[in-house]
Homo-oligomer: A and B are copies of this chain.
């Protein structure tokens, strides 16, 4: 039995509130149960130095936990003067995941930055961030298309991410904090609408797992991402 009473392949409630803030070109509050992340998409009509002159755009992400998103207060990275390795690892993952479904040529020479700020954490903040970031990116691109700045849709497919893991010997989907902190193995999958994998990351904590374990986790992830794809569709009115 899971602490939350959920079935092994049961996700927490997903909520994606669009236009949560008013200034950004795309803005959502994405909730996977008690995990709540504010994601904004900001469009800038310039690209970073390494992309200049290629006639292509760029999609990047930044990630942060508010200091008291967690059970005990963590120190503020701006006050410490540097981002942790964990933060950098997560924001690199979010950026790669979104770029995996974006046609940078069709985006044109502009950059879209996805800011993922965790308001409240209860496990799965990086997967909620990726899943919500797709909606924010979709909204921002819709805006650019509505203004005629982009002609062909550079974002033809959805991307979603979900965590799963092995807890007390059983493979479970969408771990909350309690499960996550005691998991034997912990995985994050980033899946693309249609069945392909953009990213798979699985880590053994204490115990290890084998090929069969990896496949079981992947199958759970497919179940979870189908749920998220539906919620994304609903959020963008598709």
| Chain A interface residues (CB < 8 Å from chain B) | 21-24, 27, 34, 36, 38, 40, 42, 44, 62, 64, 66-73, 76-79, 81-89, 91-92, 96, 100, 113, 115, 117, 119-121, 187, 192, 195-204, 208-211, 213-215, 218
B208 and A73 contacting across the interface, CB-CB below 8 Å? no
Known: A120-B21, A199-B202. A76 touches B62 (CB 8 A): yes
User: What distance in Å separates the Cβ of A18 from its nearest Cβ neighbour in chain B?
Assistant: 15
Tell me if B85 and A92 are in contact (CB < 8 A).
yes
Residues on B with beta carbons closer than 8 Å to the beta carbon of A38: 66, 119
CB nearest to A115 among chain B residues:
B67
Please give the distance in Å from A136's CB to the nearest CB on chain B.
10
**Contact with A204, one of B22, B67, B85, B196 (Cβ below 8 angstroms):** B196
Instruction: Write the nearest CB–CB distance from A215 to chain B, whole angstroms.
Output: 7
A69 lies within 8 A of B21 (CB) = yes
When the two chains form their complex, are residues B215 and A211 in contact, meaning their CB atoms are under 8 A apart?
yes
Smallest distance from the beta carbon of A169 to chain B beta carbons, Å? Answer: 14
> Contacts A67-B62, A76-B64, A200-B202; is A208 near B115 (CB within 8 Å)?
no
Across-interface contacts of A201 in B (CB, < 8 A): 199-202
Q: Is the CB of A68 within 8 A of B120?
A: no
A45, B127: Cα distance in complex, Å: 33
What separation, in Å, do the CA atoms of A209 and B198 have in the docked complex? 7
Whose C-beta in chain B lies nearest to the C-beta of A210? B196
- How far is it, in angstroms, between the C-alpha of A85 and the C-alpha of B213 when the chains are bound? 29
Shortest Cβ gap from A177 to chain B (Å): 10
A-B CB contact pairs (8 Å), 12 listed: A22-B120, A40-B67, A44-B73, A66-B115, A76-B78, A78-B82, A88-B88, A196-B204, A197-B210, A197-B214, A211-B215, A214-B214
* Residues in B whose Cβ lies below 8 Å from that of A197: 202, 204, 208-211, 213-214
Contact with A78, one of B83, B100, B203, B204 (Cβ below 8 angstroms): B83
Closest-CB distance, A24 to chain B (whole angstroms): 5
**Contacts of A21 on B, CB cut-off 8 Å?**
36, 68-69, 119-120
Tell me which of B23, B68, B82, B86 contacts A68 (CB under 8 A): B23
Residues of B contacting A213 in the complex (Cβ-Cβ under 8 angstroms): 197
Whether A40 contacts B68 by the Cβ 8 Å rule is yes
